[in-house]
Structure 1
Amino acid sequence: MLSVAPMMDWTDTHCRVFHRTLAPHARLYTEMVHANAVIHGDRTRLLALDPVEHPVALQLGGSEPELLAQAARIGAEHGFDEINLNCGCPSDRVQAGRFGACLMREPALVADSVAAMIAACDVPVTVKCRLGVDDDHDFGRFLAFIDTVADAGCRMFVVHARNAWLQGLSPKENREVPPLRYDWAYALKRDRPGLQVIVNGGIATDDEATKHLDHVDGAMLGRAAYHDPYLLHRLDVAWFGGALRTRGELLRALRPYIEDQLARGVFLKHITRHLLGLFAGERGGRAFRQVLSEGAHKPGADWSLIEQALALTQSPAVAA
């Protein structure tokens, strides 16, 4: 399985449609949405979903089984193919709400939540977790967490292969400072072969992602897929077949969607912010980003701006 991680403020529906264009076989994830927001908030915005996105998962935050069950049911009714419970986010706000990574210290509560969610909806319920929190360095404790949740019916775990430090590190530092221990995810798959194990964290290249397939069932890419989205396309072709398309071809394939969104009143900037890395490291990449960044917010900005940016990537006079 190739998948793109849930990323706050990034993996909205426009981003996911773009990623689907790049990677037809990838599993896509929403930003984390709290169960209360799903139940009481603006579902049209929070659960926005274009048909081309499938397969796509809704990631929920929360720690109250009854609310999570209700939110899972709503998510499934809105067409999501999977409901994923966040047990990995380390932010202060998330901790204050008693969800995210701190739930790894409450495996029974996670199990109750998963069981309630499974009973409430007819799509798979999965869990995204860390290896542990703070100074938890006991593989047995990690395995016990997995076993407790698996006994409740969860068959797929996305393992961000680091600990989460709940004090002293920012969310950004929590993605970089705690050491990666992929061997724990590998050992989980070896010891529990009946579970589907997807590894996440620190995967930045085609080779790194592919090597994980020797040990686990798939790889989930995060910021690398966002900042260098063509990586997604290369992996999709390498893993699942098909012809490698140019960046320009892929971007022009998005034109009908973009023009439809503009006709619906969406501002171009809300879409193009996800496209800025498409030519990362390529000739004209900087100029491409600059044209879109400076022009997409202006009134009346339309597809012609994207063609203007694309033209700069094909000019021999423009540097990377």
Structure 2
Amino acid sequence: MTNIKNIETTKSPRISVAPMMDWTTKDYRYFARLFNPNVVLYTEMVTTGAIIHGDAPRHLNFNQQEHPIVLQLGGSDPKELATCSKMAQDWGYDEINLNVGCPSDRVQNNKIGACLMAEPELVAECIASMQNAVQIPVHVKHRIGIDDMQSYEEMLHFVDTVAQTGCTHFVVHARIALLKGLSPKENREVPPLRYEDVYRLKQDRPHLFIEINGGIKTVAETKTHLEHVDGVMIGREAYHNPYLLAELGELWNLDMPDRFEIMQQMLPYIQQRLAEGAPLSIITRHILGLFQNLPGARKWRQALSGGNAKTFADVEQAIDNIQAAMKRTEDYLREAQL
């Protein structure tokens, strides 16, 4: 079945924060949303087995403020993917993405991620099954190639095969994945970026919505890519330097938010999560980059990463500690500007 409801339910241009294991948790996503109302947020990859046989609410729950939000699924069984897609739609997700890009050994052994590029017909069957189960958009995130399949023509064959299902949106990581010999970290850094392959894909298949991913770190780079493709997905830079999301607001003529105002908005959420029993450290680790590239960045990280910040059990004391860190950082920034 053609996925009739297309991706342009989000505000143009489409800018996304990539799914990143252990990083794009619901705590990070809540924080990220405060910088920009228009960027599309992705969950970490969640396997079909974890949802069907595990704690579904733990994996699927999110804050309503996170919209627009995409659930990224990992799996290769069409029926299980259809079941999880229907659950995602019922849970309120805006879109669903199938992971065909992760290069780790662990997911390969379960026939998940980049290894599926070698089986485009199976990916097409999975996408068709997912589309038949839901009315929300379903799309694919993949590499430009893997191992011995490194040519542009092989990637085009993969895309064309999947597109026959009616899938029109492809998120393309502009690096090959070497599944034999490189670690996941090395697969994010060692294979060279081939942006031209992604640009060529858009030129050859203009009817498809092509979103580029890989090594993108600035507003200027984002604008350059948008001259060639339909969307841009940003990964680790959006985590380590979240204020980039605010800077990208100029693409929609948004006002630049103040970092301290963002933290004031974040404090009630932190208070709520602490009251639920969440350790302070699993929240503060996501906000360490708030002042990245500013003189007070180190003071901020030190204040949040100290031993006391990880062990406070009292909610009010923890909030007081964060407010004190904000005050010290603000004072340091003011002195640095004099």
Counting aligned pairs with the same residue, the percent is 51
Structure 2 match to 1:117: 130
Partner residue in 1 for 2:8: none
1:142 corresponds in structure 2 to 155
- In structure 2, the residue matched to 1:270 is 282
Alpha-carbon deviation of 1:210?
Answer: 1.6
Q: Please say if residues 7 and 31 of structure 1, whose CA atoms lie closer than 8 Å, have aligned partners that are also in contact.
A: yes
User: Which residue of 294, 318, 321 maps to 1:302?
Assistant: 318
**Deviation of the 1:86 alpha carbon:** 0.2
RMSD, aligned α-carbons: 1.5
Query: Equivalent of 2:297, from 285, 303, 311?
Result: 285
Task: Name stretches of at least 5 consecutive residues in structure 2 with no aligned partner.
Answer: 1-13
**Match among 144, 153, 177 for residue 164 of structure 1:** 177
Q: Please show how residues 38-57 of structure 1 align to structure 2 within 5 Å.
A: 38-57=51-70
2:270 is paired with a residue whose SS is helix
TM-score between the two structures when normalised by the length of structure 1: 0.96
Distance 1:138 1:314 in 2: 51
Q: Amino acid of the residue matched to residue 62 of structure 1?
A: G
Q: Give, in angstroms, the shift of residue 5 of structure 1.
A: 0.4
Structure 1 residue 135, shift from structure 2 partner: 3.5
Amino acid in the other structure paired with 1:291: A
Q: Normalising by structure 2, report the TM-score.
A: 0.91
Counterpart pick for 2:233 among 220, 223, 234: 220
Alpha-carbon distance between aligned partners in 2 of 1:187 and 1:152, rounded to the nearest angstrom? 22
Contact 1:114–1:153 (8 Å) recurs in 2 = no
Q: Choose which of 231, 246, 251 in structure 1 pairs with 2:263.
A: 251
Structure 2 equivalent of residue 73 of structure 1: 86
Question: SS of 2:24's equivalent?
Answer: coil
CA distance in 2, matches of 1:319, 1:45: 43
Amino acid at match of 1:308: A
Amino acid at match of 2:329: T
Q: Distance in 1 between matches of 2:224 and 2:261?
A: 28
The structural deviation recorded for 1:262 is: 2.2
Deviation at 1:255, TM superposition (A): 2.0
- Within 2, Cα distance between the matches of 1:53 and 1:97? 30
Deviation string 1:60-89 (CA, Å, 9 cap, x unpaired) is 001111111111111111111111000000
Aligned partners of 1:103, 1:296: CA distance in 2, in Å? 42
Residues 201 and 221, structure 1, Cα contact 8 Å, conserved in 2: yes
Say which SS state the counterpart of residue 32 (structure 1) adopts. strand
Partner residue in 1 for 2:104: 91
Q: 1:316 to 1:290 in 2, by over 3 A?
A: closer
Q: Counterpart of 1:14 in 2: which secondary structure?
A: helix
The aligned length equals 319
**Paired position in structure 2 for 1:100:** 113
Secondary structure, counterpart of 1:290 in structure 2: helix
Q: 2:246 maps to what in 1?
A: 233
Q: Deviations over 1:297-316 (max 9, x none)?
A: 21225221221111122224
> What displacement does 1:319 show?
7.1
Alignment partner, residue 10 of structure 1: 23
Deviation (angstroms), 1:204: 1.3
- Conserved in 2, the CA contact under 8 Å of 1:161 and 1:180? yes
Q: Check 1:304–1:126 CA distance in 2 against 1; reply closer, same or farther (3 A cut).
A: same
For structure 1, the residue ranges without an aligned partner over 5 or more in a row are none
CA-to-partner distance for each residue in 1:23-50, whole Å, 9 max, x for gaps? 2101000000101111111112111210
The reply to whether residue 131 of structure 1 matches residue 141 of structure 2 is no
